[in-house]
Structure 1
Amino acid sequence: MSGTIQHYLPVREAWLAARQEAILDPGQLIVDPHHHLWDRPNWRYLLDEMLADIRAGHDVRATVMVQARAMHRASGPEAMKPVGETEFANGVAAICASGIHGDVRVCAGIVGMADLTLGAAVRPVLEAHIRAGGDRFRGIRHSATWDPDPAMLNPAYNPAEDMLDSPAFHEGFAQLAPLGLSFDAWLYFHQLPRLIRLARAFPDTQIVLDHCGGILGIGRYAGRRDEVFAAWSASMRELATCPNVMVKVGGLGMRLPGFGLDEADIAPSSEMLVQAWRPWMEPCLEMFGTSRCMFESNFPVDKGGYGYAAGWNAFKRLAQSASAEEKADLFWRSATRFYRLPDIG
Structure 2
Amino acid sequence: MSDNSKWLAMHHEEAIEPDLPIIDAHHHCYATPPKPIFPSYPIDSLLRDKTTTGHNIVATVYVDSQISLRPDGPEHLRFVGGTDHAEAIAQEGIRRGGRNAGVCAAIVGHAPLSMGSAVLEVLEAHMQASPSRFRGIRVRTAYDPDAPFNEDGYPEMLGEARFREGFAELAPLGLSFDAWLLHPQIAELTDLARAFPDTRIILNHIASPIQIGRFAGKGDEVFSDWSAAMAELATCSNVFVKVGALNMAFTGLSFIGRDRPPSSEELASRQRDYVLRTIDMFGPGRTMFESNFPVDMLGVSYGVLWNGFKRMVADFNPEEKRAMFHDTAANAYRIS
What TM-score bracket applies, with the shorter chain setting the length?
A: over 0.9
What amino acid is the match of 1:83? V
- Is the alpha carbon distance of 1:321 and 1:188 closer, same or farther for their aligned partners in structure 2, counting shifts above 3 Å? same
What amino acid is the match of 2:190? I
Work out the CA distance in 1 between the residues paired with 2:205 and 2:262. Answer: 19
What is the CA-CA distance between 1:259 and the residue it aligns to? 2.5
- Is the alpha carbon distance of 1:177 and 1:73 closer, same or farther for their aligned partners in structure 2, counting shifts above 3 Å? same
The one of 263, 266, 282 aligned to 1:272: 266
What is the CA-CA distance between 1:219 and the residue it aligns to? 2.7
Matches within 5 A, 1:183-202: 183-202=177-196
What is the CA-CA distance between 1:99 and the residue it aligns to? 4.7
1:154 aligns with 2:149: yes
Work out the CA distance in 2 between the residues paired with 1:71 and 1:158. Answer: 16
**Residues matched between the structures, number:** 331
What amino acid is the match of 1:144? T
Q: Give the TM-score, by structure 2 length.
A: 0.95
CA contact (8 A) 1:117 1:169 kept: yes
Moved more, 255-264 or 277-286: 255-264
1:46 aligns with 2:42: yes
Moved more, 324-333 or 45-54: 45-54
Match of 1:6 in 2: none
CA contact (8 A) 1:90 1:134 kept: no
1:102 aligns with 2:99: yes
What is the CA-CA distance between 1:103 and the residue it aligns to? 5.3
1:19 aligns with 2:11: yes
CA contact (8 A) 2:247 2:300 kept: yes
Work out the CA distance in 2 between the residues paired with 1:120 and 1:19. Answer: 50
**Structural RMSD (CA):** 1.4
Work out the CA distance in 2 between the residues paired with 1:301 and 1:109. Answer: 19
Matches within 5 A, 1:157-236: 157-236=151-230
Work out the CA distance in 2 between the residues paired with 1:315 and 1:10. Answer: 25
Work out the CA distance in 2 between the residues paired with 1:260 and 1:203. Answer: 34
Identity within the alignment, %? 45
What is the CA-CA distance between 1:294 and the residue it aligns to? 0.3
Match of 2:294 in 1: 300
Match of 2:139 in 1: 142
Q: Give the TM-score, by structure 1 length.
A: 0.93
CA contact (8 A) 1:118 1:172 kept: yes
What is the CA-CA distance between 1:272 and the residue it aligns to? 0.6
CA contact (8 A) 1:111 1:138 kept: yes
The one of 69, 73, 83 aligned to 1:76: 73
Work out the CA distance in 2 between the residues paired with 1:232 and 1:257. Answer: 12
CA contact (8 A) 2:22 2:58 kept: yes
What is the CA-CA distance between 1:46 and the residue it aligns to? 1.7
Matches within 5 A, 1:251-330: 251-330=245-324
1:35 aligns with 2:27: yes
What amino acid is the match of 2:55? H
Work out the CA distance in 1 between the residues paired with 2:134 and 2:275. Answer: 28
- Is the alpha carbon distance of 1:229 and 1:53 closer, same or farther for their aligned partners in structure 2, counting shifts above 3 Å? same
The one of 249, 254, 260 aligned to 2:243: 249
Match of 1:64 in 2: 61
Moved more, 67-76 or 318-327: 67-76
Say which SS state the counterpart of residue 226 (structure 2) adopts. Answer: helix
> Does 1 or 2 have the higher relative contact order (CA < 8 Å, sep 6+)?
1
Match of 1:117 in 2: 114
- Is the alpha carbon distance of 1:258 and 1:23 closer, same or farther for their aligned partners in structure 2, counting shifts above 3 Å? same
CA contact (8 A) 1:39 1:70 kept: no
Work out the CA distance in 1 between the residues paired with 2:319 and 2:100. Answer: 23
Write the deviation string for residues 165-190 of structure 1: whole angstroms up to 9, x where unpaired. 00001100000000010000100000
